[in-house]
Amino acid sequence: MINAKEISTKRFEKTTIGGYKMEEVDEYLRELALEVAALQKDKDDADKKIDVLADKVRDYMRDEDALKDALLGAQRQGHQVIEDAKMVANKIINEANEQADEILSDTKKQLEIEKKRLAEMQQEVADFKSNLLGLYKEHLDLITSLPEKEYDDDVAPAQEEIVADEAEADVSEAEAEVETPFTKPAAAEHNPNLKFGQNNK
């Protein structure tokens, strides 16, 4: 491609027959060189702008790739966060269920133990009541089997009635006391020979 410098420095051979005026040719070449120089400058400016735009396009493309990578990374991270949250939630739920099952099992075991204790206490109370009533019956039989003495007609019936009333009162009082297991230790203190429960063998 011919540039402005080549045009301005171009020289032609001189001729005397049918030639152009050298001054006009030189003037035309100067004008043409100026036009070509202006066009060349515009082209250079355009090339520079194109280079700048190309750089920007490349930057945009790099930014686009970076945004795509960031978006994909965020999506992957989001999926991972969701999966981790699900795993943690399932772990918490499973641990809570295991603890609930363990508490329920312990409660059932404790309930069975308390039921067994209650049954043992009820049996001990029943045995204590039976032994105590038997003891009072023996005492009553012993009292009634005592030999009678001769008393005055007015005194003997009264004393017999007093003895019978006291025996019946003792039996009634014993029955009232054994209605609750909390009276058992007190009764046992008064009757150390009584045996009940596991010791009644």
Calpha distance 195→156 (Å, rounded):
37
Query: Which residues, other chains included, contact 32 with Cβ-Cβ below 8 Å and sequence gap of 6+?
Result: 7
Calpha distance 92→74 (Å, rounded):
26
Confidence of residue 36 (pLDDT cuts 50, 70, 90): confident
Once rounded to an integer, what is the mean pLDDT over residues 43-60?
A: 92
User: 180 φ, ψ to 5°?
Assistant: -125, 140
| pTM score of the predicted model | 0.36
Which of these, 27, 23, 32, lies nearest to 4 by C-alpha position? 32
Once rounded to an integer, what is the mean pLDDT over residues 143-170?
A: 63
Once rounded to an integer, what is the mean pLDDT over residues 42-63?
A: 91
What tokens appear for 86 in the block?
Answer: 């699900």
Instruction: Answer whether 125's CB lies under 8 Å from 181's CB.
Output: yes
Once rounded to an integer, what is the mean pLDDT over residues 118-132?
A: 93
CA atoms within 13 A on the CB side of 182: 0
Give me the residue spans of the domains in the chain: 4-81, 116-199
